[in-house]
Amino acid sequence: MTRVALVTGAARGIGAAIARRLASDGNAVAVLDLDAAACADTVDAITAAGGQAIAVGADVSDSASVEAAVAEVVERLGAPTILVNNAGILRDNLLFKMTDDDWDAVLGVHLRGAFLMSRAVQKHMVDAGFGRIVNLSSTSALGNRGQANYAAAKAGMQGFTKTLAIELGRYGITANAIAPGFIATDMTRATAERIGMTFDEFLVAAAKEIPVGRAGTPEDIAAAASFFCAEESGFTSGQVLYVAGGPKA
Residues that bind ligand NAI (CB under 6 A): 8-9, 11-15, 33-34, 59-61, 86-89, 109, 113, 136, 138, 180, 182-183, 185-188
Looking at the Cβ atoms of 77 and 84, the one nearer to ligand NAI is 84
Return d(Cα 44, Cα 109) in angstroms, integer.
26
Looking at the Cβ atoms of 156 and 180, the one nearer to ligand NAI is 180
Return d(Cα 108, Cα 46) in angstroms, integer.
29
Looking at the Cβ atoms of 115 and 182, the one nearer to ligand NAI is 182
Cα 41 to chain centroid, rounded: 18
- Which position's Cβ is nearest ligand NAI? 13
DSSP type of residue 109: I
The catalytically annotated residue of 150, 160, 228, 242 is: 150
Q: How far is the CB of 170 from ligand NAI (least distance, A)?
A: 28
Q: Verify whether residue 150 is a known catalytic residue.
A: yes
Return d(Cα 54, Cα 32) in angstroms, integer.
8
The helix-helix angle for 113-128 and 148-168 (nearest 10°) equals 20
Report DSSP letters for 27-53, one per residue. -EEEEEESSGGGGHHHHHHHHHTT--E
Looking at the Cβ atoms of 130 and 242, the one nearer to ligand NAI is 242
Q: How far is the CB of 242 from ligand NAI (least distance, A)?
A: 10
Return d(Cα 215, Cα 52) in angstroms, integer.
30
Q: How far is the CB of 196 from ligand NAI (least distance, A)?
A: 18
Q: How far is the CB of 10 from ligand NAI (least distance, A)?
A: 7
Active centre residues (catalytic):
150
